[in-house]
């Protein structure tokens, strides 16, 4: 795993979220993720508050495995890129410490290139350099 460049991984990770072709998107997921990889999202505060009123005792959303991650990535693509007029881009400065990669990202308007949001990503890699856990913190 010593040959993994953290910025290259961040670039490839973000590219899956903006890929318009479903087959290429799925291929990117299978290349990046471990088969049982987990995407763990800290949802926005308003969603956490609603979940608490419904009796949910934790405030994370999780997708596990290629199929569930593909649904998550596709829904994000459809909502924010295809319909919303946004794209995602990694920020510079991705860093790696052993099997963990950390980087920031931005959601930007395609029309104006102005940032409309962003967050922090923490990826835990397996021995093959694939994502086994992805902790996403929107708004960070």
CA angle 114–40–24, rounded 5-degree value: 65
What is the per-residue pLDDT across 4-13, written as a single tens digit (0 to 9) for each? 999 999 999 9
What is the per-residue pLDDT across 30-46, written as a single tens digit (0 to 9) for each? 999 999 999 998 777 77
CATH, domain range 6-138: 3.10.450.50
3 state SS for 77-100? HHHHHHCCCEEEEECCCCEEECCE
Q: Where are the domains of the chain?
A: 6-138
- Which pLDDT score is estimated for 69? 96
**pTM score, whole prediction:** 0.88
């Amino acid at each position: 795993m010593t040959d993994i460049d953290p910025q290259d991984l961040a670039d490839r990770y973000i590219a899956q979220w903006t890929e318009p072709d479903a087959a290429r998107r799925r291929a990117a997921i299978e290349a990046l993720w471990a088969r049982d990889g987990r995407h763990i999202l800290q949802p926005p505060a308003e969603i956490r508050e609603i979940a608490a009123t419904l009796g949910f005792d934790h405030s994370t959303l999780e997708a596990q495995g290629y199929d569930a991650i593909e649904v998550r990535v596709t829904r994000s693509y459809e909502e924010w890129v295809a319909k919303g007029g946004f794209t995602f881009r990694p920020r510079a400065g991705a860093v790696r410490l052993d099997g963990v990669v950390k980087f920031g990202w931005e959601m930007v308007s395609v029309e104006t290139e102005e940032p409309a949001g962003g967050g922090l990503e923490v990826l835990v890699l397996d021995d093959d350099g694939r994502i086994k856990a992805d902790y996403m913190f929107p708004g960070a």
